[in-house]
Structure 1
Amino acid sequence: MRQSTQRAFLASILAATLGVAVSGCAPAVLGGAVIGSMVALDRRTSGSQLEDEGIELRSASRIRDQLGERVHVNIASYNRQVLLTGEVPNDKDRQQVEQIVSKVDNVRAIVNELAVLGNTTFSQRSSDALVTGRVKAGFIDAKDLYAGAFKVVTERGVTYLMGRVSQREANRATDIARSTTGVQKVVRILEIISQEDLQRLLPHQRRLSQPRSRQCGHRGSPTILRDPR
Structure 2
Amino acid sequence: MRAISPLLLALVLSSQLAACIPAVIGGAAAGGAMAADRRTSGIYIEDENIELKASNRISQELGEKNHINVTSFNRSVLLTGEAADAASKEAAEKAVRGVDNVVNITNEIVIDTKSTFSERNNDAYITSKVKARMLKENRFPANYVKVVTEATTVFLMGIVSQQEAADAVDIARSTSGVGKVVKVFEYTD
User: Same-fold call, TM > 0.5?
Assistant: yes
CA distance in 1, matches of 2:97, 2:23: 29
Cα 1:114/1:171, change in 2 over 3 Å: same
Q: Any idea what SS the aligned residue of 1:69 has?
A: coil
TM-score normalised per structure 2: 0.86
- Describe how 1:21-36 pairs up with structure 2 within 5 A: 31-36=26-31
Q: Percent identity of the aligned residues?
A: 49
Shift of 1:28: 8.1
Higher relative CO (CA 8 A, sep ≥ 6), structure 1 or 2? 1
CA distance in 2, matches of 1:81, 1:166: 17
Show the counterpart of 2:53: 58
Task: Encode CA deviations 1:22-79: one digit per residue, 9 max, x unaligned.
Answer: xxxxx98852221211111111000001110000000111111111101100000000
Show the counterpart of 1:185: 180
The 4+ residue runs of structure 1 with deviation greater than 6 A are none
Show the counterpart of 2:170: 175
Cα 1:29/1:94, change in 2 over 3 Å: farther
Q: Which of 139, 143, 147 is residue 138 of structure 2 equivalent to? A: 143
CA distance in 1, matches of 2:113, 2:26: 38
Show the counterpart of 2:88: 93
- Describe how 1:28-177 pairs up with structure 2 within 5 A: 31-177=26-172
Q: Higher Cα Rg: structure 1 or 2?
A: 2
List gaps (5 residues or longer) in structure 1.
1-26, 195-229
Shift of 1:135: 0.3
Task: Return the letter of the residue paired with 1:36.
Answer: G
Q: Any idea what SS the aligned residue of 1:43 has?
A: coil
RMSD: 1.4
CA distance in 2, matches of 1:60, 1:107: 13
CA distance in 2, matches of 1:115, 1:144: 32
CA distance in 1, matches of 2:120, 2:179: 15
TM-score normalised per structure 1: 0.71
Cα 1:90/1:154, change in 2 over 3 Å: same
Cα 1:187/1:49, change in 2 over 3 Å: same
Shift of 1:143: 2.9
Task: Return the letter of the residue paired with 1:33.
Answer: A
Q: How many matched pairs? A: 168
Whichever structure has more helix as a proportion of its residues is: 2
Contact 2:61 2:91 in 1 (8 A): no
